A and B are shown apart, each in its own frame.
Chain A
Amino acid sequence: MDSYGISSLALVLLPLLSFIILAVAGKHFSPKISALIGTSSIVISALLAFYIAGGYFFEFGNISGAFTKQIIMQFNWLQFTNDLSINLGIVLDPLSVMMLVVITTISAMVHIYSINYMQGEEYFERYYSYLSLFTFSMLGLVVSVNIFQMYIFWELVGASSFLLIGFYFTKPSAIAAAKKAFIVTRFADLGFLIGILMLSAGAKSLDFFTIIERLTTPGSAYLANFSGSFIGMSALSWTLLLVFIGGAGKSAMFPFHIWLPDAMEGPTPVSALIHAATMVVAGVFLVGRLFPVFAISAPDALMIIGYTGAFTALFAAIIACTQTDIKRVLAYSTISQIAYMMFALGVAGWGADKSEGFTASMFHLFTHAFFKALLFLGAGAIIHAVGSNELKNMGGLRKSLPITHITFLIACLAISSIPPFAGFFSKEAILSSAMHSNPMIYYVGLFTGGLTAFYMFRLYFRIFWFKKPEVHAHNHEVHTWFMNVPLILLAIGSVVAGLIPFGHFVSANGEPLELSIHLGSVVLPVLVALTGIATAYLYFARESFRPEQSVARFRLFYNWAINKFYIDEIYLFITKKVLFNLIGRPIAWVDKEIINGAINGTARLSMKTSEMIKPVQSGRTQTYAMFFMGGALVLAAILIFKFV
């Protein structure tokens, strides 16, 4: 193993080491030491990630003009049959290297930020150990060589996000949110598991690259295993859709999006880590990993992903416009942006001219990580200063939070895809790929872009303008440099991340792809975004009657949107009313009345009997002797009459 191999192994295992140290001995460390252990391990991981990325993209990854996968290490963990085995290993390819950089960078920022944000929390070292565990699971997920290895880490991500969301475990709402996140994603993972089993049954392998190779060769014997069809789609499409359901659960696609807004109950840096850059893009990553199979052998499944993504993008953006909790607005904006990545994958196809959507999706994943983490961390700084999540308690904060103000503005511009910020390049690539293959999705994306700009700037104006700042505004940022530095670094990332020639590094088949930007196709999205910003300015730059007026005009629709289109209520109705009444209660009745009754009846019967025959044991020795004597006489009589 060369130095890159060792460093990639260390990169993955360092957070695990930090988790183990903090989990075992964290109680004995002071908060400073705990933070130092957690933060230094992840910072080293991040540096290693950059080192590996440099090595992969500029030294050993590029073989004869295309980036190829490099399996750094793998060992056989569980052998089922000759073909079928679960291997654990580390693979480096453009996708995983890009994810390693994103995850470790954002995680390092969050670790540093938390030093100030979580200061004085009771379970400080536990918080850091959870963060390390989460980072480890996420890193393990992206370097997986085997779909089952990915599934293991996938569940580990679910479990550690459960711990992080429920970190304030004395708050009932946090516990409920943690449970909701875990159950909803777990429910979706069932689809993923069935998909894995079907995939391995057909392709006779669990190895990602073997599966891809076997299922993309036209006319291969393995493809014939999927020759059956059901409701107009091939068995392979159904299999891949089941896998996608797992991805939809983690990536909060409709109708599995309900867990993400509630998950904002966790500490804000956790939201930045889980719900901006890592866990929620796991679904996108999964589809990206299996992209050749989708694109070559099951384009109809990909089309469904595209429509799901487009619908979710619009749906979440509409809800985001009405929410008043700043973290919830960001949560819905995350759902919407992840949906952008999904439909970008959905509109892509195989081949140099069609796979632009794949690169665009990964590009958006990359840039989104920076500005969304920045938005969440900024929101954390605001909440830290104001002490509330609600918009109505904010306004005019630009004097007391100058660094947050500027960085938040940069992030808003980036997410609204205003040139030359990062979001512009990636969203532009997504829209141009959608325009070429599916105009309907393109227009949905375009309109959603306008909504995105509107709700982000609604947030921005509402927080930092709206009211006049207090005259002697107290600067909240003087003592929180561990919070300010990540904000500034991420802001720099949000500006420059888009300038990377991303298509040269990450593409569907490894060959460099030019993401061209045509002036003609740029104008419309930017104009739409500017319209959104202008509307937000008119409505929220200072206190005005306009918001109420518009709300009154669209009263019905507004009520729908502010109640999240009653999706939660529908879920509650289905689970509580339908499932519990039709299945739960009858089963409970059978359990209570029949099974429990039978057991209790047996117990009661034996008790009654024993009460009845109890007096025989009187404790009088001579009575006992009498019984004994009687028995002996009877025995004697039997013996005499039988044998004499």
Chain B
Amino acid sequence: MIPLSHILIVSSALFFLGVYGFFARRNLITILMSVELILNSANINFIAFNKYLYPDKLDGVFFTLFIITIAAAEVSLALAIIINLYRRYNTIDIEDTKEMKF
């Protein structure tokens, strides 16, 4: 059986890939995808801890299901925002949307 630490390494790698993508990419769609990566790394953690530490319980699985649902909702919302942004500014580059400041 694969040890827990291996799975945690994978999820950490996914998490920091997501964080890197969030900070480094300029395309809003890609940033959204990075956010998905972060969320999914959390999902993996939930599943892994559930499986290895409390195999007779299902709490982690339910949390994961919730997170997937919420992620779907969040994506639709974020896409709607991006579409509106595109209609107004004709761009989905995050560097071009700097109006929310003092």
Write the residues of chain A forming the contact surface with B, with a CB cutoff of 8 angstroms: 614, 617-622, 625-626, 629
Which residue in chain A gives the minimum CB-CB distance to B95?
A620
Chain A residue numbers with a CB within 8 Å of B98 are 618-620
The total of Cβ contacts below 8 Å across the A-B interface reads: 23
Give the CA-CA distance A619 to B95 in the complex, in Å: 9
Are B101 and A621 in contact, with the CB atoms below 8 A? no
Are A619 and B99 in contact, with the CB atoms below 8 A? yes
Q: Which of A617, A621, A626 contacts B97 (CB 8 A)?
A: A621
Chain A residue numbers with a CB within 8 Å of B100 are 619
Chain B residue numbers with a CB within 8 Å of A626 are 23
Chain B residue numbers with a CB within 8 Å of A619 are 97-101
Give the CA-CA distance A629 to B102 in the complex, in Å: 21
Quote the shortest CB–CB distance from A607 to chain B (angstroms).
Answer: 13
Are A622 and B102 in contact, with the CB atoms below 8 A? no
Which of B98, B100, B102 gathers most chain A CB within 10 Å? B102
Give the CA-CA distance A626 to B23 in the complex, in Å: 7
12 additional A-B residue pairs with CB within 8 Å, beyond A618-B98, A620-B94, A625-B22: A614-B102, A617-B101, A617-B102, A618-B101, A619-B98, A619-B100, A620-B98, A621-B94, A622-B23, A622-B94, A625-B23, A629-B19
Chain A residue numbers with a CB within 8 Å of B101 are 617-619
Interface of A, secondary structure class, is: helix
Quote the shortest CB–CB distance from B100 to chain A (angstroms).
Answer: 5
Write the residues of chain B forming the contact surface with A, with a CB cutoff of 8 angstroms: 19, 22-23, 94-95, 97-102
Interface of B, secondary structure class, is: loop
Give the CA-CA distance A109 to B98 in the complex, in Å: 81
Quote the shortest CB–CB distance from B43 to chain A (angstroms).
Answer: 18
Which residue in chain B gives the minimum CB-CB distance to A619?
B101
- The 10 lowest CB-CB distance pairs between A and B, nearest first, are A619-B101, A619-B98, A617-B102, A614-B102, A617-B101, A619-B100, A621-B94, A622-B23, A618-B101, A620-B98
Quote the shortest CB–CB distance from B26 to chain A (angstroms).
Answer: 8
Give the CA-CA distance A626 to B94 in the complex, in Å: 14
Give the CA-CA distance A439 to B101 in the complex, in Å: 92
Q: Can you identify 21 A-B contacts, CB atoms within 8 angstroms? A: A614-B102, A617-B101, A617-B102, A618-B98, A618-B101, A619-B97, A619-B98, A619-B99, A619-B100, A619-B101, A620-B95, A620-B98, A621-B94, A621-B97, A622-B22, A622-B23, A625-B22, A625-B23, A626-B23, A629-B19, A629-B23
Give the CA-CA distance A619 to B102 in the complex, in Å: 8
Which residue in chain A gives the minimum CB-CB distance to B101?
A619
Chain B residue numbers with a CB within 8 Å of A617 are 101-102
Which residue in chain A gives the minimum CB-CB distance to B100?
A619
Chain B residue numbers with a CB within 8 Å of A614 are 102
Give the CA-CA distance A623 to B98 in the complex, in Å: 11
Chain B residue numbers with a CB within 8 Å of A620 are 94-95, 98
Chain A residue numbers with a CB within 8 Å of B19 are 629
Quote the shortest CB–CB distance from B45 to chain A (angstroms).
Answer: 14
Quote the shortest CB–CB distance from B25 to chain A (angstroms).
Answer: 9
Chain B residue numbers with a CB within 8 Å of A625 are 22-23
Which residue in chain A gives the minimum CB-CB distance to B26?
A622
Which residue in chain B gives the minimum CB-CB distance to A622?
B23
Quote the shortest CB–CB distance from A633 to chain B (angstroms).
Answer: 10
Quote the shortest CB–CB distance from A319 to chain B (angstroms).
Answer: 71
Quote the shortest CB–CB distance from A543 to chain B (angstroms).
Answer: 85
Give the CA-CA distance A387 to B97 in the complex, in Å: 78
Which residue in chain B gives the minimum CB-CB distance to A613?
B102
Which residue in chain B gives the minimum CB-CB distance to A626?
B23
Give the CA-CA distance A618 to B100 in the complex, in Å: 8
Give the CA-CA distance A626 to B98 in the complex, in Å: 15
Quote the shortest CB–CB distance from B95 to chain A (angstroms).
Answer: 7
Quote the shortest CB–CB distance from B91 to chain A (angstroms).
Answer: 14
Which residue in chain B gives the minimum CB-CB distance to A620?
B98
Give the CA-CA distance A105 to B22 in the complex, in Å: 95
Chain B residue numbers with a CB within 8 Å of A618 are 98, 101
Chain A residue numbers with a CB within 8 Å of B95 are 620
Give the CA-CA distance A614 to B102 in the complex, in Å: 7
Quote the shortest CB–CB distance from A288 to chain B (angstroms).
Answer: 75
Give the CA-CA distance A3 to B94 in the complex, in Å: 93
Give the CA-CA distance A618 to B94 in the complex, in Å: 13
Quote the shortest CB–CB distance from B55 to chain A (angstroms).
Answer: 25
Which residue in chain A gives the minimum CB-CB distance to B22?
A625
Which residue in chain A gives the minimum CB-CB distance to B99?
A619
Quote the shortest CB–CB distance from A222 to chain B (angstroms).
Answer: 74
Which residue in chain B gives the minimum CB-CB distance to A629?
B19
Chain A residue numbers with a CB within 8 Å of B22 are 622, 625
Give the CA-CA distance A625 to B19 in the complex, in Å: 9
Give the CA-CA distance A620 to B101 in the complex, in Å: 8
Give the CA-CA distance A622 to B20 in the complex, in Å: 11
Give the CA-CA distance A622 to B19 in the complex, in Å: 11
Chain B residue numbers with a CB within 8 Å of A629 are 19, 23
Which residue in chain B gives the minimum CB-CB distance to A610?
B102
Quote the shortest CB–CB distance from B57 to chain A (angstroms).
Answer: 24
Give the CA-CA distance A155 to B101 in the complex, in Å: 60
Chain A residue numbers with a CB within 8 Å of B23 are 622, 625-626, 629
Give the CA-CA distance A626 to B95 in the complex, in Å: 15
Chain B residue numbers with a CB within 8 Å of A621 are 94, 97
Give the CA-CA distance A629 to B19 in the complex, in Å: 9
Give the CA-CA distance A74 to B81 in the complex, in Å: 77
